[in-house]
Structure 1
Amino acid sequence: MSNLDVALKDMMNIDGVLGAAVVDASSGMALGTAGGSRTLDLQIGAAGSTEVMRAKLRTIEQLGLNDGIEDILITLSGQYHILRPLGAQRSNGLFLYLALDRVRANLALARHHLRKIGDELEI
């Protein structure tokens, strides 16, 4: 089992998870996915989340901030979507994409678990 498979399996063990992906921010393509449904297409979610990530990175650069993104939280009426960049650079490369059921998930615990998974993932 690859590190990618282990990370996706670990992400799917987070309470309230609906789907998970490891995304290449340069292309918008998911390198791997788990979960999802007909109403949660993880490939579309990965591509759209890439645009969010790119926009925020551009904004940070334009503001001249010497800082990186820890994670991005998108709150919907029924779901949470968390984007977490990987690696020391955190300005490009890969990110974790996690979709959670808002009623069943504990956001603080999900962010904690996602941080740990991201720190342990080597690709």
Structure 2
Amino acid sequence: MASNIEPILKDAMTSIEGAIGVALVDYTSGMALGTIGGGKDLDLTVAAAGNTDVVRAKVRTMEMLGLKDEIEDILITLGTQYHLIRLLNKRQGQGMFLYLALDKARANLAMARHQLKGYEGELEV
């Protein structure tokens, strides 16, 4: 099965209103498997590695609390941006997350969450 990471990320950048950058990240290694967007103000490789720590900490906390549930997404709200982390929970996406940075002034957070969830089912890694 061929990977379709790049077309999915490109589609997310063009169809999600306010998208600044998007990445698919393996949180077992902290490596970005694909990135689109970003730039001098948002290094997606650094963001992928840093958000890996966030995901690992939350997964560990849930285990310590004995929560038998799945993380859908994690939202980090900055003054001018939203950073959305969508964990991939289907079998072939285990250990990965989609990371989306949004311009807060242009983004519709509810719609962005809905669209990002849709990409989860389309990804072939």
Band the TM-score falls in, shorter-chain normalisation: over 0.9
The verdict on how the C-alpha distance between 1:2 and 1:92 changes in structure 2, with shifts beyond 3 A counting, is closer
C-alpha contact (below 8 Å) 1:69/1:90 kept by paired residues? no
| Counterpart secondary structure, 2:35 | strand
C-alpha contact (below 8 Å) 2:23/2:48 kept by paired residues? yes
The verdict on how the C-alpha distance between 1:56 and 1:70 changes in structure 2, with shifts beyond 3 A counting, is same
User: What TM-score, normalized to structure 2?
Assistant: 0.92
Aligned-residue CA RMSD (Å): 1.8
User: What TM-score, normalized to structure 1?
Assistant: 0.94
Which sections of structure 2, spanning at least 5 residues, go unmatched? Answer: none
How far off its partner does 1:93 sit? 1.1
Q: Deviations over 1:19-66 (max 9, x none)?
A: 000001111110110000101000000001000000000000000010
> Which 4+ runs in 1 deviate beyond 6 A?
none
Mean Cα deviation higher: 20-29 or 4-13: 4-13
Code of the residue aligned with 2:33 in structure 1: it is: L
C-alpha contact (below 8 Å) 1:26/1:92 kept by paired residues? no
Match of 1:40 in 2: 42
Match of 2:13 in 1: 12
Count of residues in correspondence between the two structures: 123
The verdict on how the C-alpha distance between 1:91 and 1:57 changes in structure 2, with shifts beyond 3 A counting, is farther
